[in-house]
């Protein structure tokens, strides 16, 4: 049995965790994620951040992965992330 690369597994788990937060109304981060939803499309807007430390935290990384998983060449080119 061949295992998937660690990066692929981590990306999938991050997106799954973000989906579970968006689906669970009682989750503490649900309102934060829900407020980032775009009115025009299904994409999520990135929150403003001043430091790289915050930019590399869970929410911005998960939003970037989520948006790139929706498709579109612009998202993949901008983030450099491709999902299978």
**pLDDT tens, 45-75?**
988 888 989 888 999 999 999 999 887 544 4
The reply to whether 27 falls in a domain is yes
Helix (H, G, I), strand (E, B) or coil at 44: strand
The reply to whether 38 falls in a domain is yes
* Joined tokens for residue 32: 């934060």
Neighbours of 11 (CB within 10 A): 21
Number of domains the chain contains: 1
The reply to whether 73 falls in a domain is no
Could you tell me the residue range of the domain that residue 16 belongs to? 6-67
The reply to whether 80 falls in a domain is no
**pLDDT tens, 22-46?**
999 999 999 989 888 888 888 999 8
Structure confidence at residue 10 (pLDDT): 92
């Amino acid at each position: 049995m061949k295992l998937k690369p660690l990066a692929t597994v981590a990306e999938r788990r991050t997106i799954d965790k973000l989906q579970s937060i968006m689906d669970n109304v009682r989750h503490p981060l649900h309102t934060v994620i829900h407020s980032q939803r775009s009115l025009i499309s299904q994409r999520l807007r990135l929150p403003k951040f001043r430091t790289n430390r915050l930019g590399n935290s869970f929410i911005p990384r998960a939003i970037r992965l989520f948006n790139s998983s929706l498709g579109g060449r612009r998202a993949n080119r901008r983030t450099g992330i491709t999902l299978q």
